[in-house]
Structure 1
Amino acid sequence: MPELINPRAERVRSVRALSGRSARSRTGRFLVEGPQGVREAVLHAPRLVRDLYLTQAAADRYTEIVDAAHDAGITLRTGSDEVLDAMSPDAQGLVAVLDHPRASLEDVAARDPRLVAVLLNVRDPGNAGTVIRAADAAGADAVVLAGESVDVLNPKVVRSTAGSLFHLPVVAGASYDDVLGTVRGLGMAVLAADGVGPHDLDDLLDVVGAPGAGQPDLAAPTVWVFGNEAWGLRPEDRDRADAVVRVPIRGRAESLNLATAATVCLYGSARAQR
């Protein structure tokens, strides 16, 4: 029999409440939903995992998660299908409760970074999570959410990272001033991604290691700054970058969405730095 069978129990309600920002702020905890995110949390951030809830069917199917949780000393509790559904409609039989990660700009600086993504005033949780996942895939050293960006522990952000949230430092709540001060202190170039930028990303990739006058070198340690989905970067924020770079559009598309443009830029830098 599962340990938890009442979907209206106080424990179930307290887990479900973590889908809201106020409960996350009050408790210092957040939700990770589904096998992919839970697996990566257990494997790469076990010290943050407070409890793991799963159905018996999920326990039978995802034995590697169960084994890794046991090895890490994580508490596992079985629940009925109704209980897991009440905790999260996106559980797929698995939900974990974690303490908030506490990455800071100082943690980023300590990694001697060569590639960092900054999201400035990015509001859409799906976009934010997808950029974190793309940054992880491109080998970036960190992601920073600055200004009025979405809460990185929003369940949709967490799901959209597909576990990448636990692979690299993700700094939340930083000011743009502090970000620029930190990365410039490390000697990193700051590139703003903008559709009207004077520098073409493809042209910069053609001159890696030997750029012309006034051109940034993508082989150098780089910080990419990506702006809001609707209006991009404010002129005053864009002007504080060392250079403004556009992703060339060869076809008839009006523009690229934020996550796609960020992926192209990050992989461009990753290629150049290799």
Structure 2
Amino acid sequence: MSNPRADRVRDVARLAGRSARLKRGMFLAEGPQSVREALVAHRERLSRGEEGLVTELYASQACLDRYPELAEGAPGVQTRLATDEVLSAMADTVNPQGVVAVCRFLHRPLSEVLDAGPRLLAVLCQVRDPGNAGTVLRAADAAGADAVIYSGSSVDIYNPKAVRSTAGSLFHLPVVTGVDVAELAAECAGRGIGILAADGYGTLDLDALQDASAGRRLGAAEKSTTDDAAGSATGSGDSYDLAAATAWFFGNEAQGLSEEEISLADHRVAVPVYGSAESLNLGTAATVCLYASARAQRR
């Protein structure tokens, strides 16, 4: 393909817009890393007898020469060579990395995710920046979380910038979108999943919770001291066991969690800041919190 004004090129480029994505149930994956992971997920779905994920793939010859695994394609995927001009017209970035894939939406129903018995969930409440939405998903993937859940007021995770920010992690773990957080909180309570609100003004200190978790693991503290420091997921108002099944609530970049969202949580947890920074950004705070739970659960 060499004509950047062709109808097919314009049709693909429209998926950079939310309305076109919602209408077609499709989104764009750009760059070798993201497309590679999309193809892996595509093949895994087919092996389970499910519908494939990738429908179309456009790549330059230079890209296929450098990443021959992309040239292998996958069953049901229409693969076409395209010039750099065509790829630039399709992609959302100014300098695309030589490959663009058209993918089907891959979010799951909330009930399906919760019925699977998750141990660690990342919940994004009113997160508006696509880069942050993707970065938190990538951190959740790295921490071994079971799913990432986006409230109905959060940014579209299929936004091209959000997809790029996940660096392929979007294709690794279940994603739930358009969730009502009050409904989610009720469902978590019914399943014994604790809810922690990441909040700079929290009454619980994440370091203290981690110390208590380490004390239990190593047997370094007396039982009474450990219980007073951390307790369990259903313990007193000043205690929580990080090893318990947990859903972390992360709020809006500027305002944080709303009072209503905080009220749905079992505890408010603060990440301590030892230097002069006013606070941590969303991606960093989420990473610290998710890894704290992951370490406690996996030990």
TM-score grouping bracket, smaller chain normalisation: over 0.9
Structure 1 window deviating more from structure 2 (103-112 vs 258-267): it is: 103-112
- Alignment partner of 1:196 is 2:236: no
Which residue of 253, 256, 260 maps to 2:280? 256
Deviation of 1:178 (Å): 2.0
Show the 5 A alignment for 1:102-251. 102-208=107-213, 209=216, 210=227, 211-212=230-231, 213=236, 214-251=238-275
Distance 1:39 1:137 in 2: 17
Report the number of matched residues: 269
Which residue of 13, 16, 27 maps to 2:13? 16
Distance 1:53 1:133 in 2: 25
Q: TM-score w.r.t. structure 2 length?
A: 0.87
Contact kept? 1:191, 1:243, Cα under 8 Å: yes
Q: What is the percentage of aligned positions where both structures have the same residue?
A: 57
Contact kept? 2:16, 2:92, Cα under 8 Å: no
Q: Residues 121-178 of structure 1: CA distance to partner in whole angstroms, max 9, x if unpaired?
A: 0000000100000000000000000131001110011000001011000111111122
Distance 2:282 2:80 in 1: 39
Contact kept? 2:150, 2:176, Cα under 8 Å: yes
Q: Residues 57-91 of structure 1: CA distance to partner in whole angstroms, max 9, x if unpaired?
A: 11111111222x24x34221111111111111533
Q: Match of 1:178, as an amino acid?
A: E
Structure 1 window deviating more from structure 2 (174-183 vs 190-199): it is: 174-183
Runs of 4+ in structure 1 over 3 Å off: none
Q: TM-score w.r.t. structure 1 length?
A: 0.95
Structure 2, gaps ≥5 residues long: 44-51, 217-226
Structure 1, gaps ≥5 residues long: none
Deviation of 1:107 (Å): 2.0
Distance 2:152 2:196 in 1: 17
Deviation of 1:181 (Å): 2.2
Q: Residues 160-200 of structure 1: CA distance to partner in whole angstroms, max 9, x if unpaired?
A: 00010110001111111221122222211000000000000
How much is the aligned-residue C-alpha RMSD, in angstroms?
A: 1.2
3-state SS, counterpart of residue 144 of structure 1: strand
3-state SS, counterpart of residue 196 of structure 2: strand
Contact kept? 1:30, 1:100, Cα under 8 Å: yes
Contact kept? 1:105, 1:182, Cα under 8 Å: no
Which residue of 267, 271, 274 maps to 2:295? 271
Q: Residues 231-260 of structure 1: CA distance to partner in whole angstroms, max 9, x if unpaired?
A: 001112102200000000011111000110
Contact kept? 1:45, 1:166, Cα under 8 Å: no
Shift of the 227–89 alpha-carbon distance from structure 1 to 2, 3 Å rule, reads closer
Distance 2:264 2:117 in 1: 22
